[in-house]
Structure 1
Amino acid sequence: MPPAPSPTPNTGQAGEDWVAEWLTQQGWQMIARRWRCPWGELDLVMQTANTLVFIEVKTRRRGNWDGDGAQAITPQKQERLRQAAALFLSHHPQWQTTPCRFDVALVRWEPTHYRLQAYLVGAFQ
């Protein structure tokens, strides 16, 4: 795991940066970060092997109420992510024939470091 970034006021963005660095160290290629559209934001879009992966990162502090972010991935959130991914693909035709999946990274922020609570591969269709 990479070291924790310097503390910032935006824990969520710092968690995304931490996951991006972790995956990059494993050989994944960054395609886009914080890609925004009318349906919301795609936190990370990365490529591994021959797969384009849309990664939703949930960073939580200790004592959170939603299962380290897992409960925040509601069916409505999943639909918005699907719509955002479809729009991303329409804007980037070079990726339209590449297999895609949705992963979720659940990250815990501690005062001195970040910790991956879970990495859910193919978290939803």
Structure 2
Amino acid sequence: MTNHSPYHYLDLGNTGEDLVAHWLKSQGWIILDRRWRCRWGEIDIVALYVEEGHGGQGGQGGDLSSLSPPPPLSSSLPICLSPTLAFVEVKTRSPKNWDAGGRNAIASSKQVKLWRTAQMFLVAHPDKADYPCRFDVAIVSYQEISTQLSGDKFKEKNLVSSYVAGYKLTLQEYITAAFDAVQ
């Protein structure tokens, strides 16, 4: 096992966020901000989807309390019927980790923190305040690449993969509307 610097895991987290941001762009999303911070916390990715013909305006009032019930837990495509603002939390984990790939790390306390941070984002960007908003979660796994194996020996079901600095990162799941706004 290699002894990594204390910054090693942060770099993998940032690389996981990069993978998700590139995937969102490929799905037609506009990345408005990355690692947006305020006193309440940080939002990994703030993305906007504007369906052609909507011209960037619309929605039915965009405060965070107007979220509709979440769809099924997993979706291969972030589907939107009108301009939508997504606050995306990215969880990058190694295989067989303690928190189910990051899913268990989105506890109610983390949801409150994300909700408050999203509110501050909307205060700082009033031009986005009328968009419907949702909270998405992206689950990314990473695995050190063995130098003894050439190519992928196994077919995986995933959305997208990337190879960076001796690691394979895989966007395994994108959960649209993972949780409702906290009241």
**Are 1:124 and 2:179 matched, yes or no?**
yes
1:62 paired to 2:95: yes
Whichever of the two has the greater Rg, that structure is 2
Output the TM-score relative to the length of structure 2: 0.63
Q: TM-score, structure 1 length as denominator?
A: 0.91
Pairing 1:102–2:135 present: yes
1:73 alignment partner AA? I
More strand as a share of residues: 1
Instruction: Give, in whole Å, the separation in 2 of the partners of 1:114 and 1:28.
Output: 21
The residue that corresponds to 2:107 in the other structure is: 74
Equivalent AA in structure 2 for residue 68 of structure 1 = G
Alignment-mate amino acid for residue 135 of structure 2 = F
* Corresponding residue SS for 2:111: helix
The sequence identity of aligned pairs, in percent, is 47
Q: How many residues in Structure 1 have an aligned counterpart in Structure 2? A: 118
Q: Tell me the SS of whatever aligns to 1:84.
A: helix
Structure 1 partner of 2:154: none
Offset of residue 33 of structure 1: 0.3
Match of 1:114 in 2: 169
SS of corresponding position for 1:116? strand
1:88 aligned to 121, 125, 131, which one? 121
- Deviation of 1:39 (Å): 1.1
Match of 2:84 in 1: 51
> Offset at 1:122?
0.3
Amino acid at match of 1:53: A
CA displacement, residues 24-69 of structure 1 (integer Å, 9 cap, x when unaligned):
1111101000001111100000011300000000000112110000
Contact residue 62 and residue 109 of structure 1 kept, 8 A: yes
Give the helix-richer structure, 1 or 2: 1
Verify the 8 A CA contact 1:109 1:115 in the aligned structure 2.
Answer: yes
What SS does the aligned partner of 1:86 have? helix
Assess if the C-alpha contact under 8 Å between 2:12 and 2:92 holds in 1.
Answer: yes
Structure 1 runs, 4 residues or longer, greater than 3 Å off: none
